[in-house]
Structure 1
Amino acid sequence: MANVTFKGNPITLLGNEVKVGEQAPNFTLLANDLSPVTLDTYKGAVKLISVVPSIDTGVCDAQTRRFNEEASKLDNVKVLTVSMDLPFAQKRWCASNGLENVVTLSDHRDLSFGEAYGVTMKELRLLARAVFVIDSNDKVTYVEYVSEGTSHPNYEAAIEAAKAAK
């Protein structure tokens, strides 16, 4: 598993580490209206999945804004932000910040995504910061487990991977 810290403290990640070239694991998340969302919901599209501990924090806010900005420039790419925040909080945050290009999804109910993608922080019951790009055939083409939970991901590498994915 990836070695991850949060505020300098080692964190135990639960679940399965995802690697480039693998078939993307399925998941069930909740949309802002509490409807279930799975990998198949976005079948045929490239998926850039931005994982954040909590959308209401500085780095998570900046990460979501950056990918929202880039989403409008990407063809056939769905930008998904996944966190443990409640769907109501995600909806409120997006509305109050005017973000319309990213889809926020919640893993609070089942930890389905966290366990399938190896990003559940055992000690905090939050998701570790990570970025995944999945092509239109559901193959993983890019993975970044951010080594320090309070650091930014490599935006440029993730965006280039999304552009290159078919």
Structure 2
Amino acid sequence: MVNVTFQQEPVTLVGNEVKVGDKAPEFRVLSNDLQEVSLDDYKGKVKLISVVPSIDTGVCADQTKRFNEEAEAIGNVQVLTISMDLPFAQKRWVTQHHINKLEILSDHRDAQFGQNYGVLIQELRLLARAIFVVDSNDKVTYVEYVSEVSNHPDYDAALEAARKAN
């Protein structure tokens, strides 16, 4: 069981903890143009999934910008950022911040990603900060559930895991 806090207060994560070696759970989320996207859309690709509570907050914005900057350097890896933000807000943010090397996806509709990856914060209906690296065979090779939602993830470890999964 993963223990996570939000502003130093314990929160309840809904769903099952994902562990290294697991088959990546399926998910359905929305793209910024309201199209349904699933894990199958990235079949055969290494995926670095960056999970953030809200793209419009400081740490989430920094995390997304960092992975956008690093995306080319880690090779043939599809970088995804997933949050509960509405697709319209995500699209505005992407345009405003010139994000062009990763996809930002919304789990707002039914929180399926959050539940399937064990990152849905019950008390807030936001996603806990986490990183998942999934290889081209959809096997999970790296997991980080950030213990305090307002903290940064271990970027270097996540990027190295993505390189190794490639």
Q: How does 1:54-65 map to 2 (within 5 A)?
A: 54-65=54-65
Amino acid at match of 2:10: P
Q: How does 1:62-81 map to 2 (within 5 A)?
A: 62-81=62-81
Aligned to 2:142: 142
Aligned to 1:23: 23
Aligned to 1:47: 47
Amino acid at match of 2:126: L
For 2:152 and 2:46, how far apart are their aligned partners in 1? 22
Deviation at residue 75 of structure 1 after TM alignment: 1.7
Q: How many residues align?
A: 166
Aligned to 2:123: 123
For 1:58 and 1:104, how far apart are their aligned partners in 2? 16
Deviation at residue 102 of structure 1 after TM alignment: 1.2
Deviation at residue 76 of structure 1 after TM alignment: 1.5
Matched, 1:13 2:16: no
Q: Which runs of 4+ in 1 moved over 4 A?
A: none
Gaps of 5+ in 1: none
Deviation at residue 74 of structure 1 after TM alignment: 2.0
TM-score, normalised on structure 1? 0.99
For 1:85 and 1:34, how far apart are their aligned partners in 2? 12
Q: Which stretch of structure 1 is more off in the superposition, 46-55 or 66-75?
A: 66-75
Amino acid at match of 1:4: V
Post-superposition CA distance 1:92-149 (Å, at most 9, x none): 0010001101100000001010000000000100000000000000000000000000
For 1:112 and 1:123, how far apart are their aligned partners in 2? 16
Matched, 1:4 2:8: no
For 1:87 and 1:46, how far apart are their aligned partners in 2? 24
Aligned-partner SS, 1:162: helix
Aligned to 1:99: 99
Amino acid at match of 1:68: N
Post-superposition CA distance 1:50-92 (Å, at most 9, x none): 0000000000000000000010212220000000000111010
Deviation at residue 3 of structure 1 after TM alignment: 0.3
Provide the identity percentage.
67
For 2:160 and 2:75, how far apart are their aligned partners in 1? 12
